[in-house]
Amino acid sequence: MLLATQCSSAPTPPGLPPGLPSARGAAAKTQAANPVDSLVRALLDTTAAGSARRADERLGLQAGADVRAFYGPAPAPAWLAADSLGSDAPAALALLAGAPTHGLNAADYGRALLGALRDSLAQPGLPARRARQLARFEVYLTDAVLRFMRDLGRGRLRRYAASARERAAGPTGQPAALLRAGLVNDAVPAAMLAGQPANREYRQLQQALAQWLALPSAPDSAAQHQARYEQVAANLERWRWDALPPTPDYVLINIAACELLVVAHDSVLRRHRVVVGKPTTPTPTLSSAIDRFTLAPDWHVPRSIATREMLPRLKRNAGYLAQGNYALYNGQDHLIDPRSVDWARVTARNFPYTIRQSAGCDNALGNIVFRFANPYAVYLHDTPERQVFAQPYRALSHGCIRLEGPFELAAYLLRRGGQPAQLPSEAACARQPRPREVQLRRPMPLFVRYATCTAEGGHLRFLADPYHRDEVIRRGLFGPKS
């Protein structure tokens, strides 16, 4: 490794935090006149090409802007020792070769080119030719490593959108700065992996994938094996786009699994079945916090349900609402008699009413509803139709999330905040005439995500794709199916 304390007055390269040595300073341990230095500078010079973009295209660089930020205004080798490879280069090459364990394609990171250059350096050759090979290896390895780091931190399909971690870390969180620090501290592998999501779900899935790939697969199952691999890769990519922020405990709802988990310090404390939205009315992914719940809630029927499902029934039978314990209100929030309305003249477009269902055994929200801020008007709630939780396919709702065992979750949330967990029985709650709000002392972080592959005890768990979202990501990562 050629990095040392900076000994010149050259300015710190753009994108690097103060105090980190520049590539020029890093080369101080090399001979004063190193032909590779000038060759590296020539490769990175954008003057002849007319623009950085054209220079990158000419060289075939995938992360040209990051490469130039890494080397700064006075480029000098970082991967070389004298006229051969330094100790950090093999570690970087090994990690690039292991890209498939992260759901990435090793071919995207110059595996063939770097392998050929490395092999050529093991052969005797003229000094001038060897210097050119060393310079090319230097630049292309940096390009491959920085692109790998960018893809790992942001996602291969969204590499131009900074991750939340990058935004929080500022300049020190950029790949060029991370890699420079890794070279200084003899920690290149750690630096290359530093930007990937840190949340439990990503880590466990990536580790399970690495173990799965190490197992032998039967030749006659190659196509299925590849399809499974691509499914895992698509989900790792999803987590890179939308990783969970650091928090010691949280509620995670996986739409594809129809499951709610209560997680604390990487351990699953509670597991509940849920019903999620139908493919035509999907449950949205979101991040929020449960801050309260309502016992014996009223249900304010969403306009979409009122106009699409209830209005046709009202046109046939104005007494329909009374049968379900519903009430009709006009635009001034005054209760009105449905029989007084000329339903033949009401359409979905001019529907001026709101419909509410009072608390009771038949209330669509059941006996309890958990509230959390979100722009989609969805919530987590009980249901009178408990039999649906026994069904393996539970993408059945209009978008809200129905929960099995809601009172158990409520009691846990109260205990977590040091509040008395004295909840009424479900029968008593159903008889209560008016809703009652319970505010949580400690709001619980809530994340709703869509993952069609998870890890359980180090093993991959493959799930259905009810919203048919995998194929778009799979195609972006691997191209059309052959």
SS3 string, 106-156, reads HHHHCHHHHHHHHHHHCCCCCHHHHHHHHHHHHHHHHHHHHHHHHHHHHCH
300 is catalytic: no
400 is catalytic: yes
Q: Which residue among 102, 258, 272, 400 is the active-site one?
A: 400
The answer to whether 70 and 142 are in contact (CB under 8 A) is yes
Q: How far apart are CA 145 and CA 43, in angstroms?
A: 17
Q: Which two tokens stand for residue 112?
A: 């063939």
Mention every residue, 6+ apart, whose C-beta is less than 8 A from residue 151: 104, 108, 159
Q: Which residue among 272, 381, 429, 453 is the active-site one?
A: 381
The catalytic residue positions are 381, 400
